[in-house]
């Protein structure tokens, strides 16, 4: 399937679309729909992020990779987004307990993930959406009710404290992890749903610039693997790093209760170089003042109700951040939905179920891979076996570039379907493991034969 570049809606396509949620995916989806000639109204419950002095909520930097870049490229935004504050990360920089560092490349030379500021990217996408004459944005407008059989939604205008009813041809829910549109689907359809909280949470910290420059090597995702917890840091254009500390929630609470000195001792024991980078006073003050946020993974299926409504992005598949694919997966949703519109000439009775059937298993596979990567980041990256397998994967890719592709490369630097990524990864792992086992057995047999002949000669 390919995305149409036509500015006219397909012949059977609905004309009026309500997009619920003006975050990253909602604003990009508005651009995709506007490109096809739909009349789009975007409703965001909060105030315009571009007018806020401080944007509440998550601020961990995003990792923009191939899938997300492809989506941005299709609406002509890739170059603008990259110019607007992207810092390339070529791999992981692993910080040992002794303070030594070692680099682990993401992939081939030239392959990188872009560290992006969430707010800046959201502002860029909203401005791009508003540049279309067929897009209207409404801030402080909250969805309070959806009668999907009738195809109507009730919106509360928080600016006037008045409600009004709208009957669009299609409702697209892009309203995040606590999605009101997903809740509406539950009321009207048979939705399979699972929600999993991790025992770990995360807290945001900050590494300042040193004399106006990066205090660490700039073009890496910095990782402090300390089973059962970890810390990561991503670069900003101004020379600072955004950090995220991942700990069991009980441990966060325990350290906070016991106070600043215990906090400082904890960091000195587990992240000694980070104490110097952040500063003792800034570190303890931030830890005590900041709250630990929960981590949650959500899966559901299907994503639609008849030809009336559909959910995409975090509303459909919230995932923990350990593979950096949450945003990229949501952006790829926009591509897949656009391709479905083209394939079925905009017939929503076919488009919506096709999108659900195609996308749900892939997003669920990615949710699982994120959980696997958390284990990798907090412990496996220190394993000699893990490093051996990583180098072996690169060697095998060099030998068989079309038949053996490392897991991270398939996820981050391709548009191979996530479900197919998992299948290929498991198959490749099985083949490599059996090959290594066979080689080990062969070496034992050869060694045994050699020893036996040597003994016989004696």
In 3D, which of 90, 174, 77 has the Cα closest to residue 128? 77
Q: Is residue 404 part of a domain?
A: yes
Q: What is the 3-state secondary structure (H, E, C) of 40-74?
A: EEEEECCCCHHHCCCCCCCCCCEEECHHHHHHHHH
Instruction: Note the pLDDT tens digit of each residue in 285-311.
Output: 999 999 999 999 999 999 999 999 999
Q: Give pLDDT, residue 59.
A: 64
Q: What is the CATH number of the domain that holds 151?
A: 3.50.50.60
pTM: 0.89
81 and 143 share one domain:
yes
Please tell me the distance from the alpha carbon of residue 356 to that of residue 186, in angstroms, as a whole number: 15
Q: What is the pLDDT of residues 123-181, one digit of tens each?
A: 999 999 999 999 999 999 999 999 999 999 999 999 999 999 999 999 999 999 999 99
Please tell me the predicted confidence (pLDDT) of residue 458. Answer: 55
Q: Where in the sequence is the domain holding 212, given as residue range(s)?
A: 197-294
Q: Other C-beta atoms within 10 Å of 209: how many?
A: 13
CA distances in angstroms from 235 to 96, 97, 134, 217, 370, listed in the order given: 19, 21, 36, 9, 21
Establish if 344 belongs to a structural domain.
yes
Round to whole Å and give the CA distance between 447 and 458: 17
| Residue range 268-289, pLDDT digits in tens | 999 999 999 999 999 999 999 9
Over 90: is that where the pLDDT of 232 sits?
Answer: yes
pLDDT score of 5 more than 60: no
The answer on pLDDT for 9 being more than 80 is no
Whether residues 276 and 330 fall in one domain: no
Q: What is the C-alpha to C-alpha distance for residues 195 and 318, in angstroms, rounded to an integer?
A: 9
The pLDDT mean for the chain works out to: 90
State residue 274 phi and psi, 5-degree precision: -70, -30
The last residue of a domain, from among 244, 263, 294: 294
Tell me, what's the pLDDT at 146? 96
- Residue 279's pLDDT is 95
> What HEC string does 377-437 produce?
HHCHHHCHHHHHHHHHHHHHHHHCCCCCCCHHHHHHCCCCCHHHHHHHHHHHHHHHHHHHH
Query: Are residue 325 and residue 246 in the same domain, yes or no?
Result: no
Pairwise CA distance, residues 371 & 62, whole Å: 17
- Which residue, 424, 437, 369, is CA-closest to 397? 424
Label residue 7 by pLDDT band (50, 70, 90). Answer: very low
Q: Can you tell me the distance from the alpha carbon of 357 to that of 155, in angstroms, rounded to the nearest whole number?
A: 29
Question: pLDDT value at position 378?
Answer: 59
Bond preceding residue 228 cis, omega within 30 of 0: yes
Query: pLDDT exceeding 70 applies to what percent of the chain?
Result: 92
| Same-domain status, 28 and 134 | yes
CA-CA distance, 19 to 315, in Å (whole number)?
12
pLDDT at 68: 98
- CB within 8 A of 42, min separation 6: which ones? 19, 21, 22, 26, 27, 30, 129, 135, 136, 137, 138
- If asked whether residues 260 and 332 sit together in one domain, one would say no
Asked if 425 and 417 touch (Cβ cutoff 8 Å), the reply is no
* 9 falls within a domain: no
The pLDDT of residue 10: 52
Strand partners, 152: 147
Q: Which among 318, 339, 374 is the end of a domain?
A: 374
Determine contact, residues 368/194, Cβ cutoff 8 Å: no
Q: Which pLDDT belongs to residue 430?
A: 85
Please, which pLDDT band fits residue 390 given cuts at 50, 70 and 90?
confident
Nearest to 267 by CA among 254, 255, 249: 255
Residue 301 lies in a domain: yes
Domain count, the chain: 3
């Amino acid at each position: 399937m390919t995305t149409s570049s036509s500015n006219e809606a397909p012949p059977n396509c609905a004309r009026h679309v309500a997009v619920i949620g003006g975050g990253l995916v909602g604003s990009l989806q508005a651009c995709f729909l506007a490109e096809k000639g739909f009349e789009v109204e975007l409703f965001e419950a909060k105030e315009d992020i571009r007018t806020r002095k401080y944007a509440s909520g998550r601020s961990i930097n995003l990792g923009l990779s191939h899938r997300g870049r492809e989506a941005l490229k299709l609406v002509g935004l890739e170059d603008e987004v990259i110019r607007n504050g992207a810092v390339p990360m070529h791999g992981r920089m692993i910080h040992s307990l002794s303070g030594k560092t070692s680099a682990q490349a993401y992939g081939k030379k030239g392959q990188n993930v872009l560290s992006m500021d969430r707010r800046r990217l959201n502002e860029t996408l909203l401005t791009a959406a508003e540049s279309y004459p067929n897009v209207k944005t409404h801030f402080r407008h909250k969805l309070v009710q959806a009668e999907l059989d009738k195809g109507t939604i009730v919106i509360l205008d928080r600016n006037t404290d008045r409600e009004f009813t709208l009957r669009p041809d299609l409702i697209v829910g892009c309203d995040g992890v606590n999605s009101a549109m997903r809740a509406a689907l539950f009321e009207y359809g048979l939705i399979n749903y699972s929600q999993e909280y991790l025992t770990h949470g995360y807290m945001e910290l900050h590494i300042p610039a040193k004399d106006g420059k990066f205090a660490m090597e700039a073009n890496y995702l910095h990782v402090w693997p300390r089973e059962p917890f970890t810390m990561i840091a991503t670069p900003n254009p101004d020379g600072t790093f955004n950090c995220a500390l991942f700990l069991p929630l009980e441990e966060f609470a325990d350290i906070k209760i016991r106070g600043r000195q215990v906090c400082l001792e904890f960091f000195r024991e587990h992240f000694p170089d980070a104490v110097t980078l952040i500063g003792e006073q800034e570190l303890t003050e931030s830890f005590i003042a900041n709250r630990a946020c929960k981590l949650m993974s959500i899966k559901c299926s299907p994503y639609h109700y008849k030809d009336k409504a559909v959910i995409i992005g975090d509303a459909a598949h919230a995932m923990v951040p350990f593979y950096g694919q949450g945003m990229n997966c949501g952006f790829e949703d926009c591509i897949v939905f656009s391709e479905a519109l083209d394939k079925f000439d905009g017939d929503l009775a076919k488009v919506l179920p096709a999108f659900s059937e195609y996308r749900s298993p892939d997003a669920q596979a990615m949710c699982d891979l994120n959980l696997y990567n958390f284990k990798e980041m907090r412990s496996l990256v220190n394993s000699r076996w893990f490093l051996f397998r990583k180098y072996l994967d690169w060697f095998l890719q060099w030998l068989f570039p079309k038949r053996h592709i490392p897991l991270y490369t398939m996820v981050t630097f391709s548009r191979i379907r996530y479900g197919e990524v998992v299948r290929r990864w498991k198959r490749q792992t099985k083949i490599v493991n059996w090959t290594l086992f066979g080689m080990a057995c062969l070496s034992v047999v050869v060694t045994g034969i050699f020893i036996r002949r040597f003994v016989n000669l004696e």
